[in-house]
Structure 1
Amino acid sequence: MNDRQQTAVALNTAPYAALLLRLALGAMYLAHGLTKLLVFTLPGTAGFFESVGFPGWMAYPVTAFELLGGVALILGIFPRWVAALAAVQLFAAASVHFANGWSFSNPNGGWEYPVFLAVAAAALALLGDGAYALKRSR
């Protein structure tokens, strides 16, 4: 395969790669939002936020963003913008884990998982909306 053919393949398959990334991130976001809402509860999540130095009230918009952002990513509603905001939120989430070290299996979780997800969200924001997006970002 020559360079021109490889470029054509990459351009033809990139939207499907972005779709896979969008669906995976959307499912992860939705799962984390539902966990905050139904398992930890919003008051419990607010208490955790306060225990790590964030204002407790931030639990409410963060949970809403995870739920609505997860659905938006899955459906493809402004996915580039949602992914860009998700990357920022995930880097903030990673800051909670910096003192715990790298590995997610460390006590209280390390920062590898949220940083990986932040990079994945940034990659989606750079790649574009992906195939089958309902409302394309501009």
Structure 2
Amino acid sequence: MIDPKTAPLGILALRVTTGALFLVHGLIKLFVFTPAGTAGFFESIGLPGALGWLTMLFEIGGGLALILGIKVRLVSLAFVPVLLGAAVFGHGSAGFNWSNAGGGWEYPVMWAIVQAALAALGDGPYALAPTKRLTA
């Protein structure tokens, strides 16, 4: 049974926490690794360098959207393939455990599942731009 008093707070916590983590990851790519370095890393694992730029921008913009509660279902759903791609291309060869050298694939897979759950839950009542509900 869903507790209608605490479920909105749970959605808010999930939305803001994951949004903040994506924002930080994107800003690290921007300011620490630099866009050129991020593109170079993507190329080193066999992906187009432009995908590094897109990932960085999506992490920053998508993270902000989740924090603010804008298009949460769409943004969360869009993060799922990005995270699964990170699991396969960025962390797949490192094995399962996140503490392995290079980070394991289970961490991005867990975040993909979290984003799928958030897409199913929706933005919650504490969103800047709540999604309109479809009625039957």
TM-score by length of 1: 0.89
After superposition, residues 27-66 of structure 1 pair within 5 angstroms as 27-66=20-59
> Given the alignment, which residue of 10, 14, 27 partners 2:7?
14
Quick check: 1:67 aligned with 2:56?
Answer: no
Which structure ranks higher in relative contact order (CA pairs < 8 Å, sequence separation ≥ 6)? 1
Gaps of 5+ in 1: 1-6
TM-score normalised according to structure 2 size: 0.91
Does residue 1:82 correspond to 2:82, yes or no? no
Tell me which residue corresponds to 1:104.
98
CA distance in 2, matches of 1:116, 1:122: 10
CA distance in 1, matches of 2:55, 2:47: 11
Q: Percent identity?
A: 50
| Structure 2: segments with no counterpart, 5+ residues | none
Distance in 1 of aligned mates of 2:12 and 2:130: 12
Q: What root-mean-square deviation, in Å, do the aligned CA atoms of Structure 1 and Structure 2 show?
A: 1.2
TM-fit CA distance, 1:88: 1.6
Structure 1 CA distance, aligned partners of 2:6 and 2:121? 11
Compute the displacement of 1:128 (Å): 1.1
Name the residue aligned to 1:117. 111
In the aligned structure 2, how far is the partner of 1:71 from the partner of 1:44? 23
State whether structure 2 residue 16 is matched by structure 1 residue 23.
yes
Q: Partners in 2 of 1:130 and 1:73 — Cα distance?
A: 11
Alignment pair present for 1:132 and 2:122: no
How far the C-alpha of 1:122 sits from its partner, in A, is 0.7
Offset at residue 17 of structure 1 (A): 1.1
Distance 1:65 1:38 in 2: 15
